[in-house]
Amino acid sequence: MTDGQKKTIIIDGDVHPSALALLEARPDIELMRVPLEDHEALSAAVTAANGILARSARITPELVANANGLEVVSRHGVGYDRVNVEALSARNIPLTVTGTANSPSVAEHAMMFMLACAKRLLPTDRRTREGDFLKARQELGRVELLEKKVLIIGFGRIGKIVARRCQGFDMEVLACDPYIDQQIIRDAGATPVEDFRDVLGEVDFLTIHIPLSDETENLIGAEELAQMKPSAILVNCARGGIVNEDALYETLKAERIFGAGIDVFAIEPTPGDHPLFTLDNVLVNPHAAASAVECLERMGVQAAQNILDQFDGKLDPDMVVNQDVL
């Protein structure tokens, strides 16, 4: 920036102190804070915004239309299903994400779900605390990851790390991602799968790492779940809505698969009376896979840096979703 005029950045919710320090160190930047999930407050503030650091903000066409000075929207993460990308592109406004900042943490979370479900951690812990020691030890049917077959849907930043982690447990890795060169999957030591449905009946673990879109909504429904083995475990650390929750509930309730680890839901925040919360064979988290302290710092700093880089005319194209604006 060379015109000497301050630019305003809106932040919805809290970000890591390191991210705030990066922004506050710039004398040409003014910060505005709005509460998380407060669309009304965001709409009122956006008229003054040059940049938005968006944690859970809904970036609607109406919001974009009212933001006359908006130059960049920077997602605190990699998902952008709450952002109307077309509205931004129509104004030549880049939408940025945080690259690989959250990938290790989300991959670890997926592995945690695999291990915890395979070892029946939740009921084992509860029965042990209740004093049912022998039953907790002997009757829960734990399984190993060793030499099991895992299918990864989505072989992007996170999926690739999940593959390496699974290989560290001596698992056989299959991957389905029609949007990348299949040689990338082979070079990673995994087996490419053209249609994931063709192998659902043979895999022991299914883990999902794709964005939510019209194409992927309800990608895993009753028909797909019915094809899975009774010993199979499903993990979703991607986005709610990709797995049909009603179908998953019925499948788990009938014990037609072994278990599931679910970090994301179609409605968030998720009501406490969600049917899945009543089951022993599912582990649930509040969209927290990227909430490790180290991950939150990396994401916050990268999200802040993306805004500054756009203001300074040196935005990294690899961080931009809508490449057509470059």
Residues 88 and 195 in one domain: no
Model confidence at 140, pLDDT cuts 50, 70, 90, reads: confident
Which CATH number goes with the domain that contains 221? 3.40.50.720
Q: Which domain holds residue 177?
A: 103-284
pLDDT, position 3: 56
Model confidence at 135, pLDDT cuts 50, 70, 90, reads: confident
User: How many domains, the chain?
Assistant: 2
Q: Give the active site residue among 287, 294, 297, 298.
A: 287
pLDDT, position 295: 98
The overall average pLDDT reported for the chain is 96
Q: Give the active site residue among 120, 239, 245, 298.
A: 239
Per-residue H/E/C for the chain:
CCCCCCEEEEEECCCCHHHHHHHHCCCCEEEEEECCCCHHHHHHHHHHCCEEEECCCCECHHHHHHCCCCCEEEECCCCCCCECHHHHHHCCCCEECCCCCCHHHHHHHHHHHHHHHHCCHHHHHHHHHCCCHHHHHHCCCCCCCCCCEEEEECCCHHHHHHHHHHHHCCCEEEEECCCCCHHHHHHCCCEECCCHHHHCCCCCEEEECCCCCCCCCCCECHHHHHHCCCCCEEEECCCCCCECHHHHHHHHHCCCCCEEEECCCCCCCCCCCCHHHHCCCEEECCCCCCCCHHHHHHHHHHHHHHHHHHHCCCCCHHHECCHHHC
Residues 231 and 276 in one domain: yes
Based on the residue annotation, tell me whether 139 is a catalytic residue of this protein.
no
Percent of the chain with pLDDT over 70: 99
Residues 300 and 209 in one domain: no
Based on the residue annotation, tell me whether 55 is a catalytic residue of this protein.
no
Residues 80 and 109 in one domain: no
Q: Is residue 1 part of a domain?
A: no
Based on the residue annotation, tell me whether 16 is a catalytic residue of this protein.
no
Q: Encode pLDDT of 276-309 as tens digits.
A: 999 999 999 999 999 999 999 999 999 999 999 9
Q: Give the active site residue among 268, 274, 294, 298.
A: 268
pLDDT, position 163: 98
Q: Encode pLDDT of 50-85 as tens digits.
A: 999 999 999 999 999 999 999 999 999 999 999 999
